């Protein structure tokens, strides 16, 4: 006689790993494309509308070149192209590793709580980054024009 699984029994490891692996694939596939198709060559990707309208680098400008540099092991180039993106990728990698470990071990999924004060601080830092990278003193934070 087969007993029905209890409600407290964790799902099998492959089912638990499904969401983190799907998220990894959703990031790895486009990152792989950017690694192969160089954003430093004109014509492969659209221009930034903020840059076109204002002449200023937006916080995301250089993000594709940053991914391309990271994929080719050029950490310094990635930092030059978009330092905020490198920081964001590092944070996301740590969060993904925590999620993957929790799924692998059957532990609870980690929860990330960012309150209003932290969001305000993050937005302020992104604003400061945007302004500084557009000033002569912050030219090292701006990607090279394509």
Structure tokens given for 24: 């990894």
CA distance 9 to 19: 19
Contact 47, 123 (CB under 8 A): no
- Burial label for 115, CB within 10 Å (0-12, 13-18, 19+), is exposed
Which pLDDT value is given to residue 132?
96
Contact 99, 87 (CB under 8 A): no
- Does 10 have pLDDT greater than 80? no
Condensed to tens digits (0 to 9), the pLDDT of residues 49-80 reads 999 999 999 999 999 999 999 999 999 999 99
Which pLDDT value is given to residue 64?
95
CA distance 19 to 124: 32
- Does 8 have pLDDT greater than 80? no
């Amino acid at each position: 006689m087969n007993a029905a699984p209890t409600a407290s029994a964790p799902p099998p490891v492959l089912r638990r790993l499904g969401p983190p692996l799907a998220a990894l694939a959703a990031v790895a596939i486009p990152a792989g494309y950017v690694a192969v198709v160089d954003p430093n060559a004109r014509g492969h990707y659209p221009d930034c509308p903020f840059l076109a309208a204002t002449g200023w680098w937006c916080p995301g400008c250089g993000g594709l070149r940053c991914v391309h540099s990271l994929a080719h092991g050029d950490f310094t180039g990635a930092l030059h192209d978009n330092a905020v993106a490198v920081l964001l990728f590092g944070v996301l990698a740590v969060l993904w590793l925590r999620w993957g470990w929790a799924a692998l071990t059957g532990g609870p999924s980690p929860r990330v709580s960012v309150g209003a004060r932290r969001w305000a601080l993050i937005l302020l830092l992104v604003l400061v980054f945007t302004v500084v990278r557009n000033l002569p003193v912050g030219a090292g934070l701006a990607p090279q024009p394509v």
